[in-house]
Amino acid sequence: MILHPTEGPTPIIELRGVTKRFETPAGTVVALDRADLSVEPAQLVVVLGPSGSGKTTLLNMIGALDTPTEGSIEVAGKRVTDLSRSQLFGFRRQTVTFIFQAFNLFPELTALENVRFGAEISGHRSAAELAVRMLEDVELGDRVQHFPHELSGGEQQRVAIARSLATGNPVLLADEPTGELDFRTGIQILRLLRDRTNDGKTVVVVTHNREISRMADVVVELSDGHIVSSAPPPGGPVDATELRW
């Protein structure tokens, strides 16, 4: 049992001894090994680590897309590891929301409809108006009727972010959200995410780009399935405009 001597705000994400093993015909892969993590609300957390270190696995555990082999996960007061299958679906509707590296927009829906989906699924009443506002927030107010394949990669990612934001869920999970994007667009996306923490959302961003970690409140370093450190970046978070890559 880990004690928390510093009486800060209650953590919104809390992992204790989380282990994830994958059984493959070639043997067992330990993707995550006894990971402990505590994240406070309204923070921008950047998860860093080399390829295969378990970043995506960690994010999927927090978002209940996958279940740990061992350990417990608590998100926004819900013990994810104890939830039933249908409660997990409810958890994904109300508590967390994903931004994927592959965007995963619905190809047959327009930008507006993709965002509306996010608003509707989490139970918003005036989903259509909310969706328009969200798209305006990501500066796509003039692209609402476009289909995903008619948008650039950065625009698609902004639609994906708007879709996630439209859910209004407190925890945003982004796996390599800038991986596909050029520098300028990448910065734009990161600023958007940073702004969300000002609205009280907790944002977890996975990346292997160390530069991005400079703007984080907390940097979680992963190596070979182990959390090797979890601390603010040296010198404190900088503004997105100061990033270089």
By CB under 8 A, tell whether 50 contacts other proteins: no
Name which of other proteins, Mg ion, ligand ATP, none residue 101 binds, using a CB cut-off of 5 to 8 Å depending on partner kind: other proteins
Residue 212 per-residue DSSP state: G
Residues from 202 through 221 that contact ligand ATP (CB under 6 A): 208
- Kindly identify the residues of this chain, within the stretch 100-119, that bind Mg ion according to CB under 5 A: none
Spatial neighbors of 11 by CB under 8 A, at least 6 apart, are 38, 39, 40, 41, 74
Residue 53 in contact with other proteins, rule: CB under 8 A: no
- By a kind-dependent CB cut-off of 5 to 8 A, residue 11 interacts, out of Mg ion, other proteins, ligand ATP, none, with none
Residue 92 in the binding site for other proteins (CB under 8 A): yes
- Judged by CB under 6 A, the residue of 11, 54, 170, 237 near ligand ATP is 54
Helix%, strand%, coil% for the chain, nearest 5 = 35, 25, 40
Task: Write the DSSP symbol of residue 11.
Answer: P
Smallest separation, CB 15 to ligand ATP (Å):
14
| 34 and 69 Cβ atoms separated by less than 8 Å | no
Measured CA to CA, the distance from residue 203 to residue 226 in angstroms comes to 21
List residues binding ligand ATP (CB under 6 A). Answer: 22, 24, 29, 31, 49, 51-57, 208
